[in-house]
Amino acid sequence: MEDERKLEESMAEMSVDEAKEAKKKAKAEAKAAKAAKAAAKAAAATEKGKKKTKLGLSVTKEENFGDWYSEIVTEAELISYYDVSGCYILRPWAYAIWEELKAFFDGEIKKLGVENCYFPMFVPESNLIKEKDHVEGFAPEVAWVTKSGDTDLDVPIAVRPTSETVMYPYYADWIRSHRDLPLKLNQWCNVVRWEFKHPTPFIRSREFLWQEGHTAYATKAEADEEVKQILDLYRRIFEDLLCVPVIPGVKSEKEKFAGGLYTTTVEAYVPANGRAIQGATSHCLGQNFAKMFGIEFETEERARALVWQNSWGFTTRTIGVMVMVHGDDKGLVLPPKVAPLQVVVIPLPFKGCDSSVLVGAAEELTAELKAAGLRVRCDARENYTPGWKYNHWELKGVPLRIELGPKDLEQRSARFVRRDNGAKEDVSWQRLVEQARCTLEQVQKDLLDRATKERDQNVVEVRNWEDFLPALDAKKLVLAPWCEETAVEEWVKANSAGGDGAMGAKTLCIPFKQPALPEGTMCFAAPDKPAKRWTLWGRSY
Contact residues for a copy of itself (CB under 8 A)? 23, 27, 37, 40-41, 44-45, 48, 80, 82-84, 87-92, 94-96, 98-99, 115-124, 127, 139-151, 154, 156-157, 159, 169-170, 173-174, 176-177, 179, 185, 189-190, 194, 206-207, 209, 298, 383
Beta bridge partners of 212: 187, 313
CB 339 within 8 A of CB 440: no
Distance of CA 73 to the CA centre of its chain: 14
The minimum distance between CB 367 and a copy of itself, in angstroms, equals 16
| In the complex, minimum distance from the CB of residue 119 to a copy of itself, in angstroms, rounded to a whole number | 5
Q: In whole angstroms, how close is the CB of 469 to a copy of itself at the nearest point?
A: 35
Task: Say which residues have a Cβ less than 8 Å from residue 527's Cβ, sequence separation at least 6.
Answer: 464, 465
* Residues near 298 by beta carbon (within 8 Å), at least 6 away in sequence: 176, 177, 178, 304, 305
Check if the beta carbon of residue 159 is closer than 8 Å to that of residue 143. Answer: yes
Q: What distances in angstroms separate CA 506 from CA 8, 539, 540, one per listed residue?
A: 10, 6, 7
Nearest to a copy of itself of 115, 490 (CB atom): 115
Smaller CB separation from a copy of itself, 313 or 504: 313
* Nearer to a copy of itself among residue 207 and residue 224 (C-beta): 207
Question: First and final CA of the chain: distance in angstroms?
Answer: 16
Q: Please list the residues that pair with 189 across neighbouring strands.
A: 210
Strand partners for 533: 482
Q: Is 46 exposed, middle or buried (0-12, 13-18, 19+ CB in 10 A)?
A: exposed
By beta-carbon proximity to a copy of itself, the closer residue of 185 and 292 is: 185
CB of 93 to a copy of itself, least distance (A): 9
* CA count, 13 A, side-chain hemisphere, 322: 30
Closest approach of a copy of itself to the CB of residue 490, in Å: 24
Cβ proximity to a copy of itself: between 90 and 536 the closer is 90
* Closer residue to a copy of itself in complex, CB, 187/252: 187
- Closer residue to a copy of itself (CB): 300 or 410: 300
As beta bridge partners, residue 151 has 148
Q: If 0-12 CB within 10 Å is exposed, 13-18 middle and 19+ buried, where does residue 54 land?
A: exposed
Please report how close the Cβ of residue 417 comes to a copy of itself at its closest, in angstroms.
25
Q: How far is the CB of 279 from a copy of itself (least distance, A)?
A: 21
Question: 312: which residues sit within 8 A by CB, 6+ positions away?
Answer: 1, 212, 213, 227, 230, 231, 234, 280, 281, 282, 283
Tell me whether residue 174 or residue 512 sits nearer to a copy of itself (CB atom). 174
- In whole angstroms, the minimum distance from the beta carbon of 21 to a copy of itself comes to 14
Q: Least distance from C-beta 192 to a copy of itself, angstroms?
A: 8
> CA torsion angle for 492, 498, 501, 506 (degrees, to 10)?
-20
How far is the C-alpha of 120 from the C-alpha of 510, rounded, in Å?
A: 35
Residue number, 149 or 422, with CB nearest to a copy of itself: 149
**Rounded CA separation 183/206 (Å):** 30
- Residue 504, C-beta contacts closer than 8 angstroms, at least 6 positions apart: 492, 493, 494, 495, 496, 497, 539
Strands 343-347 and 413-418, by their bridges, are unpaired
CA distance 69 to 73: 6
Q: For a copy of itself, which is the closer residue by CB, 204 or 206?
A: 206
207 vs 485, beta carbon nearer a copy of itself: 207
List, in order, residues 6 or more apart from 156 with CB less than 8 Å away: 125, 144, 145, 146
* Three-class secondary structure of residue 249 per DSSP: strand
Which residue lies nearer to a copy of itself by CB, 79 or 480? 79
Rounded to a whole number of angstroms, the minimum distance from the CB of residue 266 to a copy of itself is 24
Distance of closest approach, residue 185 Cβ to a copy of itself, in angstroms: 7
Look at strands 207-217 and 308-315 and give their pairing: antiparallel
Q: Which CB sits closer to a copy of itself, 42 or 357? A: 42
CB of residue 506 to a copy of itself, shortest distance in Å:
23
Q: How far is the CB of 482 from a copy of itself (least distance, A)?
A: 33
